[in-house]
Amino acid sequence: MPTIGEIFQKYGAAYVRKYRLPSAHLKVIDAIRNCRTSALGGHAWVCTSCGGMHVHYNSCGNRHCPQCQAFEKEKWVEKRKQELLPVPYLHLVFTLPHELNSLVLSNDRLIYNLLFKATWQTIKQIAKDGRWLGAQTGMIAVLHTWGSNMSLHPHLHLIIPAGGLNENGTAWLNTKKKAFLAPNKKVLSPIFKAIFLKLLTKAYENEQLQFFGQAKVYEEVAQLRNLFTTLQRKNWNVYAKMPFGGPAQILNYLSRYTHRVAISNHRIVGLKGNKITFSVKNYKKKDEKGLPKIKKLTLNAFEFIRRFLLHVLPKGFQRIRYFGILAIRNRKTKLRAVQSLLKHQPPAINPLHWKERLEQLTGKDINACSFCGAKTLKVLGFIPQQWIPIGRSPPIQVQIITPEGEFIPFAA
């Protein structure tokens, strides 16, 4: 099946020639199309038993690359195990209305930051309310910007402990409602809407909003006022559900979302001419288990690339954030106090060597020769990285440089 890297290799140069792209988009295209190819260099081993040669090319490490996230996800899960509490957790999703999409495209960093801020203020307000909890809680939030068809669909996935630390920091309080936030979407949604629109209005008053492309119409005050009126009248979507399983299962559940990209390679089912076919979820139709049915969607290559690039995040933007008792600055104080109150001892950190982690993920022992199975691999040398401008393919003929400085030609 075709991969996103192959799609960028085949159509990326033409797309770049036709459209003027920001440097962040160019870097993503360049990284993904060269990922695990000879362009990024690599290392070579030889089996001293059978003489078989093994070459492994380097990964690009770009956070938008579907091939580079598995390792990062596993490392993230290992670290978060230290912060789990032996209590039920809730899964929530806060979604921005699609009417805001044009503003998002012109103000992605600003509006995504407002989404995090408004969501936390909503949760904090409900948690402090004695009718629901009356305590300090926390949350882990992960930003997604896409729908199943790669359209722009900004939303946050959250997990929240069903309880909190009292104001004095001396006791853990369980929620006063069995499911806490789960049945209260009608409560959460209007609060979230009011807080977000207040923050957005303030940003406009402070002249922080920019208007490009489709958003240029909102330079007219009347048009912007109409948008705000529409947003005020609309019911905003807040999904709330109590996931099953214990804290470890909840963490694995959230990890499905933490290191995802707009589309993974396994969803691409066909590439014919300049048409790309991939699987999407049909939320209007359910299967016998109540899950969305899977259908196929075909786009031309340029539209596919355009949709993929919609979800390139601003430079340095943190898409996973921690709040309240789970905030980074509170881990050694409030979180540790909660763990003590609940008599919970976090598991010891067990950092794996990258070879062990690879074997855990793939079931393959990288120390064993894939030809004869013997664990007799010896380092042969390295392949130097070669910078390949967009529009050129990774080199087919490369050289392995041995520790002694010898050059060995190799067909990539």
Q: CA dist 389 to 39, 187, 310, 373, Å? A: 10, 52, 22, 38
Q: Encoding tokens for residue 301?
A: 């290559």
Element (H, E) at 10: helix 4-18
Contacting residues for 401 by C-beta, under 8 A, at least 6 apart: 381, 382, 383, 384, 407, 408
* Model pLDDT, residue 201: 97
Please identify every stretch of the chain with a pLDDT value under 50, giving residue numbers as ranges. Answer: none
**Are 193 and 231 in contact, with CB atoms under 8 Å apart?**
yes
Token couple for 191? 């609060």
In this structure, what are the phi and psi dihedrals at residue 177, rounded to the nearest 5 degrees? -115, 140
What was the pLDDT predicted at 354?
A: 62
- Residue pair 160/90 in contact by the 8 Å Cβ criterion: yes
Residue 197, CA distances (Å) to 200, 220, 223, 227, 313 in order? 5, 18, 16, 11, 22
| Beta-sheet pairing, 407-411 with 397-401 | antiparallel
pLDDT of residue 187: 84
Phi, psi of 402 (to 5 degrees): -80, 165
**Which pLDDT value is given to residue 279?**
94
Query: Which single residue is written with the structure tokens 């998002």?
Result: 104
What is the C-alpha separation between 356 and 363, in angstroms, rounded? 10
Q: What is the pLDDT of residue 327?
A: 95
- Residue 77: count of CB within 10 angstroms of its CB: 16
Residue 127 backbone phi and psi in degrees, to 5? -65, -35
Q: Among 274, 217, 199, which residue's Cα sits nearest to residue 103? A: 217
3-state SS class at 358:
helix
DSSP character string of 260-323: --S--GGGEEEEETTEEEEEEEEEEEE-TTSPEEEEEEEEEHHHHHHHHHTTPPPTT--SEEEE
Q: What is the pLDDT of residue 360?
A: 66
CA of residue 197 relative to chain centroid, distance? 25
For 335, list phi and psi in degrees, rounded to 5: -65, -40
Helix residue ranges per DSSP H, 81-158: 101-106, 108-128
pTM over 0.85? The answer is yes
Q: What is the pLDDT of residues 124-141, one digit of tens each?
A: 999 998 888 899 999 999
For residue 83, what pLDDT is reported? 84
- Token couple for 214: 């489709």
Q: Quickly list DSSP for 173-225.
A: EE-SSSSTTTT-HHHHHHHHHHHHHHHHHHHHHTT-----GGGGGGGSHHHHH
Residues 58 and 113 sit within 8 Å (Cβ to Cβ): no
Cα dihedral 103, 108, 110, 111, rounded to 10, equals 60
